[in-house]
Every structure is written in C-alpha cells, then in structure tokens.
Amino acid sequence: MTASDPDPDSAPSSTLAPAVLISEVGPRDGLQSVAATMPTAAKQGWIAALHAAGLREIEVASFVPARLLPQMADAAEVVRHAVALPGLRVMALVPNLRGAQAALAAGAHKLTMPVSASEAHSLANVRKTPMAMVDEVRAIDALRRGLAGSGPMAGLEAGISTAFGCTLQGRVDEDAVIRLAVACAEAGADEVGLSDTVGYANPAQVRRLFTRLRSELGDKAGAAHMHNTRGLGLANCLAAYEAGVRTFDASQGGLGGCPYAPGASGNVVTEDLVFMFEAMGVATGVDLARLLAAREALRAGLPGEPIYGMTPEAGLPKGFAPAAAPAHSRDTSTGEMRNV
C-alpha cells in the first residue's frame, strides 16, 4: 500500500462529529505561494497523510493557466486522486468559468472563488473588478446547476479577499465588504467567507465583520481565512469563533500567501489552530499526532522549504487530552456542518 493509498483503518478512531470544521488549504494556497513545484506524487502523498489525520475538507488545487502558476499544472490529476479518499470533501479554487469547467470535469466536490473587496487587488489577482467577479459567481452557479442532473451538485463558496485591508489599496470599507458578500450570495454562492489576505485584521475588527456577515447571510456566512502575517492569526480565529464562525481555513506548516498582494505571508498554521481548539475543549475531529506526522510528507515534497508552527516545535503538553466531539454537530452522511 502506497503513501497515496492510506489504510482506511489508519483514520482517527473516533466516529463522533467535530464542533468546528478545519478546512486545510495548504495543497493549494500553500503550494502556489512557494517558488518550488512539489511533484504530483508527493502532493498526493501529502494529501493522503492529511486525510489520515482526520481532515475532511481539503483545498487541493487551483485551476488557473499553468503559465501563470506552474505549481498547479497538475490540478486535474491531483483532484482525481483526492476524490478517491473516503469521506473527503475535495475543494478547488477557480477564478472564472473556464476554471470551474475544468474543476468539475475532474470531479471536485466544491468550488471556491476569490472575490476581492479591494478593486486594486481584484484587478491584480484576476484582472476583473469585484462586481465582474460577482457575474462570474452567477455564471458558475448556472454551470453547476446545469450539470446537477448527472450527480450531486458541487458546492460553491465565494471568499471575500482583502476583507480586512489591502496592501495595494489600504483601507477597505466594511460596508462595501458586506455589500459584496450579499451580492455573491444573491448570485448563487452557497456560502460566503471573509479572508484576511494580507494579515491586516485585528480581533475587534474580525468579531465586528463576522457578526455583521452572519446577521446578513445567516447560514450562508462561511469560513474565516486568516493569515498570521503580524502574529494575530490565532487571536483572529478565536474572535471569529466567538462571533459564531464554525469553519476555519488553515495551512499545514503555515505555508501560503497571495502572489498578487505584496507583503502577504503565511496562513494560520493548521497544527496550532487544531491545538488551540482542542485545548479549549472544542473538537476538530483531527488527530494531532497524525497531523504532526504529516509534516514529514510536506518536508519530503518540498525539501529545504521553511515550514512553521509553534505546536510542532514545542510538542504537546504533558497529559494533553483532545476534546470530546459532540455527535450532533455534523451530519456524518453528508459531511455538512450544522449550526452549533
């Protein structure tokens, strides 16, 4: 049995449902932000190791032209491998209709779209205005609905990039962020999250914006995607949790950043985020020991690339016990989170 075909019995033994969903974005957000290209087989082995640790939603690829992001040239092959892992919801980033067509053809379960609240960042990142990206959301929603007769309809998430500030534009108006989020939901997105693309956010701002988002969108209010650029990643995740957020993006080893946002660096470290929640008694469904072991697959695929994390460096505290997961917070037949 190869590293890309983990023993099903190696999954965490608990069948109880987690209270929060940790959505791993390292294989996409992390890998597209480093200069080196991880070999396809190494990506598959890393994704399998993350899955074996209990992660059940992983963003595995970005469907963009290979000339722009050669690190993602094997996106379809990586998706086809990942969808064979039992119980895994496979996500792919798509910036436009063409990318969505390719991702759906490869079998992705969920599409994520970057819709920037900063016009300057939007033009640099996808060469479209924010409202033009709302039109893309509408077109992709129509595409997935048109294909729904051939199987389960893929999910569609809009991530509002630079929601807390932008290195190109500076301040981003909070009212504009909420208007854009509502427009994406009205255009067909199942959920709309907020992203601190450049690490400008602070906990008070995070709590305020997510409270407003949840007030406007209810169950369609989605994930918190925080960066640790200025050391506030975990504090911002905690503020989002206190505002009612239950889905959190994170990247193993803290890999990630936006290549089109100067000064953007590292995502929240998955290992540290899982430890924080488990130590608080908030179950993640992730086996920390296996998650720490998965770093070896990352290192093997990107030799010499710096990876980060306080928990991996310090180790687990003596006597540490993970949280007990409440059985009512996830529908185990579909993998969908319920309100908790």
* CA–CA gap between residue 24 and residue 38 (Å, rounded): 17
Q: Is the pLDDT of residue 99 over 90?
A: yes
The model's pTM: 0.89
pLDDT of residue 96 exceeding 90: yes
Tell me the percentage of the chain whose pLDDT exceeds 70: 88
Active site residues: 258
Per-range mean pLDDT, top range of 68-82, 138-152, 312-326: 68-82
Per-domain residue ranges of the chain: 21-314
pLDDT band for position 334 (cuts 50, 70, 90): very low
Q: Is the pLDDT of residue 322 over 60?
A: yes
Say what the pLDDT of residue 110 is.
98
Residue found under tokens 């994406």: 184
The amino acid that residue 236 corresponds to is N
Query: Is the pLDDT score of 333 beyond 70?
Result: no
CATH superfamily of 21-314: Aldolase class I (3.20.20.70)
User: Which stretches within the chain are classed as H helix?
Assistant: 40-52, 75-82, 97-106, 119-126, 130-147, 174-186, 203-217, 233-242, 270-280, 288-301, 310-314
Mean pLDDT to the nearest integer, 13-22: 70
Give me the percent of the chain exceeding a pLDDT of 90. 80
Q: What is the pLDDT of residue 189?
A: 98
C-alpha separations of 96 from 106, 127, 132, 155 in Å: 16, 11, 10, 15
Of the pLDDT bands very low, low, confident and very high (cuts 50, 70, 90), residue 18 is confident
The mean of the pLDDT values for the chain is 89
pLDDT at position 329 is 40
pLDDT exceeds cutoff 50 at 239:
yes
CA–CA distance, 252 with 266 (Å, rounded to integer): 10
